Structure formats: structure tokens, C-alpha cells
Chains A and B, each alone.
Chain A
Amino acid sequence: MFRTIWSKSLRDFRVPILGWGYGLALLMAAGFGTATAAILAGFSSIAPLLGFLGEPYAMQTPEGYITFRYLEAITPLLLSIWAVLAGARLVRGEEERGTMDTLLATPQSRARLLLSKVGALVTALIVIAVLVALGTVVGEARLGGHIDFVRALLAGLNLSGFAFFFGMVALLLSQFTISRRAAAGGASGLLLLALLLYITGREVSGSWLQYLSPFYYYNLNRPLIPSFNDAPAAALVLLGLSLLLAAISVVLFGRRDIGGAAFSWQRDHAGGKHQVERSLSQAERAVSTRTVSLRTLAASGWSSFWWLLGIVAFCAYVLFLTPAIQQPFYKIVQQTPWLAQLFFDTPTNTNTGMLGTILFAFLPALVVIIALTLALSWPSDLENGRVELVLSTPQARPRVLLERFGANLLVVLLAPALTWLVLTIGAQLINLSIDQGRVLAASFSMLPLALITMGLVYSLAGRLRYGAVLGLVTAYLVLSILEETLEGLVSIPSWIGQISIFHLYGNPIFVGMDWGHFLGMTGVGIALLVIGLVQFRYADIELG
């Protein structure tokens, strides 16, 4: 595996290949497991109301149902997030780690190096496509229906092709930024913008906005559905654009400084006493350098801002949709036995119930992801030796850890607070009647979930390396999400429900605050934090 840059890069992708490949394969196989006649009928009836999730086609067939539910927006979005992260670090990651100099000290041209890495990403995405196809075939076989491996493979390749496009967007952006995080952030923003354009364009019938979105061109092909009139040219256009982005990246990478940006936005001023004095004075006045907690808040400032803005936008969007879809949705649920059974404990005849069905089904997962990304900077900094100097100052270890945790918690606390504020103020503005108490309960009941997630990361960070912490906590969260998503549709051992934080979150939007669960989960979160403190008390600090 160490013979070429391609094989070494492919080796670096082995964990994501297995994680994403098997994860998506499992999702497809399990998805087909839920495609019973009753569910197909139920989804066919509510699909027009869920137009923001995708465009329903052949909903009475398992393939149409799977395409609508998983392949149209959610799965391409998820796989593209990985492709964006991988694309952003393809060469910029090596530059940040300082390994690019060594690589380029060998007789390898820059173009060959970059293309080898792009080739590795393509190979990884093809392997993921094959695994997705295998999952699809297994699902079809379990359902006893028609098995078509070629169509399954084409669906997987269509998915990978879409993710590859955004990977190449991130690669191109990484030529203009000097940090991979900035490139990944920019590409993620474009990904979300593309989704928003696609959704909005479709909601506003015939709007040209959707033509600006790669999601539109991706969905012109639905290979899993035999009756769908595919447009292979759309996939080729997307592939052509991806290759063009890669080619531009090759040219820019070949001409720019290693460690520098393709165009230098900031010109370095000549040093001199004035410059020294000015930067020292600015740093003296800065608030962000006063304590560990302020520094932590500043370090996560922009990413936190975008996450919270996303929550605000999501809440506002769903609130805006609620008056239009509440009554039709209620009628369909009443007329469809399977849906009536699924929503037996859900008051779908109220606005609050509607918010619960759409908004609070996703928001807890989003808040947990924010908590995870914030908390992961702790094991990352520990592993990269960035805590050593802080601990060489007279700061006690527990204090440093608590300040970091506290700063993370403060950002996470803003998520339920903003959710509650947007829903309360927004409902007043559009004159929508909602149950204030239950919205408050549903918003702040998300806090213990975040507390447990962060507690898990901090408790493991004292003993395990970043990769292990990330793997374990992500595995637990994926298990929790799968349990909650597939509950009632496939048979899941009851013990998984007992440890799933999303299951324990319950339905506060429908039943109000469950103080027992709230306090119990908060207690678990605090206990995990205490374990983290004890572990860190005796942990050796990494050199980096």
C-alpha cells in the first residue's frame, strides 16, 4: 500500500470507505426492509406534502420509495459532507501537517501528485458505490422482489458522482485558502446552498432556481426506478464539471507556493518596529486571549455561528411551512391506517404537533452533531500537542478542562435557546398558534443530549487518541439514530432503545417536559464529565 501516492492515499481512506460504504449499504438494506405495501401506500399519500424532501416518483414501488426517502437528498448530502472533508484535505491537509515538502522532495511532479490523490478519492467513491449496490441488492432479495445489480450499481455510481463533484469543489477552494477548514467550510456552505436552491426551486413550481443546483442534475437520473426516464447526459455534465474543477486545481497547485494560496489576498507588510508594536497592542486589547474559555469560544466562533444560523434558518423554514401543510397532513394521517398507527401518539391536528413531526425529528440530531464537532477539538488539541504550553502556565488541569467544556456548553446552550426564541417570536409574527410550554420543553430537552455527547468525548479523551474517540462516539450516535429512525419498522433489540439518547429524548413536543428523563440524562452527562476530569488528572500530555 506504500508503493505509490495513489495507494497510500487510498489506504488513508480505508476507514471512511468501510464506515460510509457499510453504513450506507446497511441503510439501503434496512430501507428495503421497511418497504411493505402498507408503508408504500402511506408514503405515497404524504409524499406530496414532503416535497422539500424530494420529488416523489413511482412511490408505490419499493425502488421509488427508497429513491424518494434516501437517495434523492439525504444520502447524497451525507456522502458529500465526507467528500468535501476529503477533498479539502487532499493536498491542503498534507501542507498543514508539513508533509507536502517531503513528498515533493521526491521526483514526483505536482500534477501527478494531485491527480494520484484525486484518483484515490475516485477509487474510494467507486468502492462505496459498489457497497451501496450490494446493500440495495440484499434489500431487494430480502423483500423477495426483482433483483437488478446493474441498476443498483448505477444508483451507487450516481450517488458517488454527485459526492465527487463537491469533493472537487472543496479541492478547488483549498487552492485559494491556507487552511483546509476554511475550504471545507466554504464547500459545505455551497452544498447547503445547492440543497436550498433545489428545495426552494421545486416548492416554487417551475422556478429556475433549481437549475442552479447540482441536486437537480443528480436527480435527473434515478437508475433504481426502471420506469424513470433517465438523462445520462446530466450525469456526464456533472462528471465533466468535476473533472474541470480538478484540472483547474492541478493548474493552480502547480503554480502556487506550497503552504500559500493561489492568490495572495493579504500582502505582508514590511516588518519594522511599528508593525511589531501594532500587532502586540492589538493582541493586548483582544478579549479572546484573556482566558482558556474565551480562547475556546473564539476558536470555534465562525463554525458555531454557521451552525446556529443553520438552526435558525431551519426553524424559520419549518415554521413558515407549517400553516400550509398542517391540515392536509392531518387528513391524510386520518385516512391512512398505517400512518394513523405510526402517529398514534402524535397530535397531528395541531401546529405544535406538526412542528414536532418535522422539526423536532431532526433538530436533536443536529444539536448533537454541533456538540460533537465542538467537543472533538479537545482530543484533537491534546493529540496535536497544542495543550502543552497552556499547561506549562500556572493553570490547573481541571480548570483548563472545565473552561474548555464550559465554552463548548455555552455554544450548545444557544441552540435550544435560539430554537425556542425563533419559534416563539416567529409564531407571533405569522400569527400561528403553538403550545409555548411544549416548544420550550422540546427545545431545552435537547440540552442533556448535547451534554452526554460532550461528556462522552471528554471522558474518552483522557485515555484514547482522537481517531478512537471519534470512532466510538460516532458509532454510538449512528446506532442511536438508526434505532430511532427504524423503530417500529424493523425489529431492534430493546437494550439499544434503552441506551439511545434520541430514544431517551422522547417526545417532549407532544407530551411536555419529562423531568425524570431530563434530570437523569443531565446526571449522566455530568458523571461523564467527572470521569473526564479524573482521567485527565492522570493523563500524559501528548507531544504532538
Chain B
Amino acid sequence: MSTIIQTNHLTKSYGRSRGIIEVTFDTQEGEVFGFLGPNGAGKTTTMRVLMGLLHANSGSATIGGLDCWQQSTEVKKLVGYLPGEFTFDPGLRGAQIIEYLVHLRSGVDQAYVRSLVERLGFDPSKHFREYSHGNKQKLGLVQAFMHKPRLLILDEPTSGLDPLNQQEFYKMVAEARAGGRTVFLSSHILPEVEHTCDRVAIIREGRLVKIDHVSSLKDIHQRDVEISFAGPASVDWFKHVAGVVSVAQGADERTLQLSVQGDLTEIIQIANQHSATNIDTHEPSLEEVFLRFYEPEPSALAGER
């Protein structure tokens, strides 16, 4: 697989406000890459820098080896884009908007456009101002997919879609991936990310805090382990063991609470040496993993105070 998106120490600020800081990642051709983070974390800013709509203060971003700012016109031939806030002339009909964007792209297969319109159940005869949020989103998806781009950049693509159309969208993403195309999407719906994405990047307060395969994120879950012993237990038995993030006394002197990352084999062996009577493990869901990344850094909170 070759790299299609590559950013290197990408930074964008809006005057005194933070945008994104030193964002570095790459996306491989043919994968579905999820971009996650709380509101205002920098997801949309990153996508708009990739689209050449914002000028980065420093760092670089390339798509298909082309510079996203200097060669943005060429870049856009490779990309289908759905903005987070889809806006257009309120007086134009859906069909006119599609046709206008078809002409601005050129070489679009009209039969494929019709199939997308039909597939999403979109009525193109209304004025843009008359569409509901969900119908605007369908129009946005039609124009993003209509030219079968090598790369799809989609900012919260299922926002406003009903469950049936969400399912249709997942199929479209799966078809795009099967066709060797790349999808770079942001989302707040974690099951959606878990089911559609190969890899995810998590951005918090403008900085990337994690990039990994979805499956790896599951593997690095921190598990909460509670061990009960026949007699009084000591935190010293575990605090230097590899993988133990924290250890504390439990409800009574015979119980210990551990937070463990990775394999539990050594923990079980030590517990056995000290005559453990019971071991309970609690595995957090992927959602809990994400939420942990979403929470603001303690230092940032202190700063806010």
C-alpha cells in the first residue's frame, strides 16, 4: 500500500486561538481512516487544511504526493469532500447544485450520479433552503462520491442521516474500500468508527494523542483487576511488575485494585504465590478507551482555572 495523505508537523492557528499543533500522520491508500476527537479539537481544521481551504502556519500536508496548498487544484481532482457544515446558494435546486459541481469537476458519469441520488432517496427538485439537515447531508454525500475519487474526506458524514441511510452510507464506504479507494472520515459515533475504520487517529486540544489500528486499540485496553487474598495484601507485591499502571488497597486489607495494560500472566503468577482466592477483571469498552482520550488533560484544566 502507498501513502495517500501525509502530514508533517502541521500547525494552524487562528490568531490567538489554537487550531492544530504539530499534527503528523499518514494514511495508506485503500484504508478507511477515522479521525476522532471532542468538539473543537481540530478535526475540521485538519480536513480544511488538507483541502487547501486554510493556509497552514507551518508544517506540510500532501495528498497523493501533491502539496495541499501549492498544488491544491491538482489535489482536488483526487478528492471528494463533504464539509461539516454543508452550505450552498439557498435559491438553487438540489439538481442544479449537483449539475454545477459536475461541470466544475468535469468527466463525471451522469448515470452514476443518478444511481447515487436513487440509492440515498434524495429528491433533487427542491430548493436548497427547503432541505432538512438530513437531506442536505444526502446532497453532500452525492457530490462527494459522484466522481469516484481516489480519496474521500468526509467531515461527520452520517450527521443527520436516518438509520436506513446510515446503513447505505456504510455500504458505500465498504464499496469504496473494496475498489481500492481511501476514506478519511471524522465521526463521534464510536460503534460506526469501530465497524467502518481500519485505523483511527485521536486528536485532543489540537494535538494528535493516538494513532493506531482499531484492533490494536482494543489490545491496549487498560483492564481493571481486583484480587482477593486469604490474608493481608501489600501493594509492593505488584507495583514494579511490567504492565501495572496503578495499584491500590481495595475495600479491605485483603483486597488489591490494579489497573493493568497488556498481558496478565505475571500478575496471575504473583497472585498465586500469595495465595489469591479470587481474581475479577473488568475490560472497558472501546467507548471508554476513547472517552479516556477525549477528557481534557489535567494540566489544561489547571491552566483554565
Q: Could you tell me the distance in whole angstroms from the C-beta of B68 to the nearest C-beta in chain A?
A: 12
- Stretch touching chain A among B102-110, B161-169, B198-206: B102-110
A178→B95 CA distance, assembly (Å): 19
B31-39, B76-84, B207-215: which lies at the A interface? B76-84
A-B pair count, CB < 8 Å, reads 121
**Are A280's CB and B87's CB within 8 A?**
no
Q: Is B101 an interface residue (CB 8 A)?
A: yes
Interface string of B45-88 (1 = CB under 8 A from A): 00010011111000000000000000011101101010111111
From known contacts A388-B87, A540-B54, infer whether A283 and B76 are also in contact, taking CB-CB under 8 Å: no
Task: Decide yes or no: A394 and B114 within 8 Å by CB, A282-B95, A283-B98 being known contacts.
Answer: no
Is the CB of B118 closer than 8 A to any CB of chain A?
yes
Chain B residue, CB-CB nearest to A396: B73
Indicate if the CB atoms of A279 and B95 lie closer than 8 Å: yes
Per-residue CB contact flags for chain A residues 348-389 toward chain B (1 = under 8 Å, else 0) read 000000000000000000000000000000000000111011
What are the interface flags for A258-276 relative to B under an 8 Å C-beta threshold, 1 for contact and 0 otherwise? 0100000000110101011
Cβ-based interface call for A234 (8 A): no
Q: Which residue of A lies closest to B80 (CB)?
A: A392
Nearest-neighbour CB distance to chain A for B134, whole angstroms, equals 14
Answer yes or no: B265 CB below 8 A from chain A CBs.
no
Are B55 and A540 in contact, CB atoms less than 8 angstroms apart? yes
Assess the B53–A540 pair: CB atoms within 8 A: yes
Q: Is B262 an interface residue (CB 8 A)?
A: no
Residues of B in contact (CB 8 Å), total 49
Instruction: List A contacts of B88 (CB < 8 A).
Output: 386, 389
Given B79, B85, B122, which contacts A392 in the complex, CB threshold below 8 Å? Answer: B79
A429 contacts partner chain B, Cβ-Cβ < 8 Å:
no
Which of chain A's residues have a CB closer than 8 A to the CB of B86? 389
Q: Indicate whether A278 reaches chain B with its CB closer than 8 angstroms.
A: yes
Interface check A106, CB cutoff 8 A: no
Query: A286 near B79 (CB under 8 angstroms)?
Result: no
CB neighbours of A284 from chain B (8 A):
99, 110
* Size bracket of the A interface: 35 or more
How near does chain B come to A43, taking the closest CB pair, in angstroms?
46
Question: Which residues on A sit within 8 Å (CB–CB) of B96?
Answer: 283, 286, 288-289
Contact B99 A295 (CB under 8 A): no
Shortest beta-carbon distance from A87 to chain B in Å: 20
* Chain B CB within 8 A of A38 CB: no
Partner of A276, one of B51, B84, B105, B118: B118
Query: What's the nearest-Cβ distance from chain A to residue B247, in Å?
Result: 47
Q: Does A434 contact B (CB under 8 A)?
A: no
- A374-429 residues at the B interface, CB under 8 angstroms: 384-386, 388-397
B224-262 interface (Cβ within 8 A of A): none
Residues of chain B with a CB closer than 8 A to A459's CB: none
- How close is A329's CB to chain B, nearest CB, in angstroms? 46
- In the complex, what distance in Å separates the CA atom of A26 from the CA atom of B48? 47
**What CA separation (Å) do A361 and B51 show in the bound complex?**
49
Contact of B117 among A276, A286, A394 (CB under 8 A): A276
When distances are taken between beta carbons in the complex, the residues of chain B under 8 Å from A178 are 129
Chain A minimum-CB-distance residue to B76: A394
- Chain B residues near A465 (CB, 8 Å)? none
**A542 — nearest CB in chain B belongs to which residue?**
B53
Do A541 and B48 have beta carbons less than 8 Å apart?
A: yes
Cα-based distance from A278 to B54 in the complex (angstroms)? 38
Q: How far apart are the CA atoms of A119 and B20 in the complex, in Å?
A: 46
Q: Is A299 an interface residue (CB 8 A)?
A: yes
Does A292 make an interface contact (CB < 8 A)?
A: yes
Tell yes or no: A517 within 8 A of B by CB: no
* Contact string against B for A residues 44-55, beta-carbon threshold 8 Å, 1 for contact and 0 otherwise: 000000000000
Q: Is B219 an interface residue (CB 8 A)?
A: no
B304 within 8 A of A: no
**Contact partners of B91 in chain A: CB under 8 A:** 179, 299
B93 contacts partner chain A, Cβ-Cβ < 8 Å: yes
CB pair A283 B99 closer than 8 Å: yes
User: Would you call A230 an interface residue if the criterion is a C-beta within 8 Å of the partner chain's C-beta atoms?
Assistant: no
A394→B100 contact, CB < 8 A: no
At the interface, yes or no: B143 with Cβ under 8 Å from chain A? yes
Residues from chain B with a CB closer than 8 A to the CB of A280 are 95, 98-99, 113-114, 117, 124
Given contacts A179-B90, A299-B89, A394-B77, contact A541 B104 (CB under 8 A): no
Bound: A529/B203 CA distance, A: 40
A290 within 8 A of B: yes
Whether A543 contacts B105 in the complex (CB less than 8 A), given A279-B95, A289-B96, comes out as: no
Does A279 lie within 8 Å of B125, measured CB to CB?
yes
- Inter-chain CA distance A278–B83, complex, in Å, is 28
A residues in contact with B98, CB < 8 Å: 280, 283
**Closest residue of B by beta carbon distance from A179:** B91
Asked whether, in the complex, the Cβ of B143 is within 8 Å of the Cβ of A389, the reply is yes
Please determine whether A543 and B85 come into contact, CB atoms closer than 8 angstroms: yes
Task: Tell yes or no: A96 within 8 A of B by CB.
Answer: yes
CA distance in complex: A386, B87 (Å):
6
Which residues on the B side are within 8 Å of A289 (C-beta)? Answer: 96, 99-100, 102-103
Q: Does A19 contact B (CB under 8 A)?
A: no
Residue B192 CB within 8 A of the other chain: no
Say which residue of B83, B95, B105 sits within 8 Å of A393 (CB atoms).
B105
- Say if the beta carbon of A291 comes within 8 Å of chain B: yes
> How far apart are B139's CB and chain A's nearest CB, in angstroms?
10
Type the 1/0 row for B129-151, where 1 means its CB is closer than 8 Å to any CB of A. Answer: 11000000000000100000000
Ordered nearest first, which 9 A-B pairs have the shortest CB separation? Answer: A283-B95, A279-B125, A283-B99, A289-B100, A393-B104, A392-B81, A279-B95, A541-B53, A385-B87
Q: With contacts A282-B95, A395-B76 known, what are 12 further pairs, Cβ within 8 A?
A: A96-B90, A276-B124, A280-B98, A288-B96, A289-B99, A290-B103, A385-B83, A389-B87, A389-B88, A391-B51, A394-B105, A540-B55
